[in-house]
Amino acid sequence: MSRYRIEGGRRLVGEVTIGGAKNAAVAVIPAVVLSDGPCRIENIPNISDIFVSFDILKALGAQVRMINKTTVEIDPRTICSHVVPHELARNMRASYYFLGSLLGKFGTAKVSLPGGCNFGVRPIDQHLKGFTALGASVPAMIENGMIEATATQLIGNSIYLDVVSVGATINIMLAAVKARGITILENAAKEPHIVDVANFLNAMGADIRGAGTDVIKICGVPHLHGTTYSIIPDQIEAGTFMAIAAATHGDLLIKNVIPKHLESISAKLTEMGAQVEEIDDMVRVTMDGPIKHCNVKTMPHPGFPTDMQPQIAVLLALSDGTSIVTDTVWENRFRYVDELRRMGAQAQVNGKVAVFEGVPMLTGAPVKAYDLRAGAAMVIAGLAAQGITEIDDVHYIERGYEYFIEKLRAVGAEIRRVEIPSPFARRA
Give residues in contact with ligand EPU (CB under 6 A): 23, 26, 93-94, 117, 122-127, 163, 165-168, 189, 306-307, 329-330, 372-373, 400
- Smallest distance from ligand EPU to CB 159, Å: 12
Q: Which is nearer to ligand EPU, 178 or 373 (CB)?
A: 373
Q: Exposed (0-12), middle (13-18) or buried (19+): which is 378, by Cβ within 10 Å?
A: buried
Please count the helices (runs of H) and the strands (runs of E) in the chain: 13, 23
Q: Which is nearer to ligand EPU, 122 or 341 (CB)?
A: 122
Of the candidates 80, 117, 219, 294, the residue annotated as catalytic is 117
Pick from 122, 120, 118, 121: nearest CA to 370: 118
- According to DSSP, the β-strands at 251-255 and 282-286 are antiparallel
Compute CA 310 distance to the chain's CA centroid, rounded to the nearest angstrom. 14
- Smallest distance from ligand EPU to CB 399, Å: 8
- Smallest distance from ligand EPU to CB 62, Å: 20
Which string of b and e fits 319-339 if b means at least 16 CB within 10 Å? beeebebbbebbeebbbbbeb
Q: Exposed (0-12), middle (13-18) or buried (19+): which is 99, by Cβ within 10 Å?
A: buried
Helix (H, G, I), strand (E, B) or coil at 111: strand
To 10 degrees, the CA torsion angle through 83, 88, 90, 93? -80
Give the Cα separation of 17 and 406 in Å (integer).
Answer: 11
- Smallest distance from ligand EPU to CB 374, Å: 9
Closest residue to ligand EPU, based on beta-carbon distance: 167
The phi, psi pair for 417, rounded to 5°, reads: -95, 125
39 given a catalytic annotation: no
Q: Which is nearer to ligand EPU, 102 or 164 (CB)?
A: 164
Q: Which is nearer to ligand EPU, 293 or 334 (CB)?
A: 334
- Smallest distance from ligand EPU to CB 204, Å: 20
Q: Which is nearer to ligand EPU, 136 or 287 (CB)?
A: 136
- The DSSP-derived string for 154-192 is -B--EEE-SS--HHHHHHHHHHHTTSBSEEEEES----H
Q: Which is nearer to ligand EPU, 330 or 356 (CB)?
A: 330
For 191, residues 6+ apart whose C-beta sits below 8 A from its C-beta are 23, 166, 300, 301, 305
The phi, psi pair for 344, rounded to 5°, reads: 105, 0
- Smallest distance from ligand EPU to CB 222, Å: 28
Q: Which residues are catalytic?
A: 117
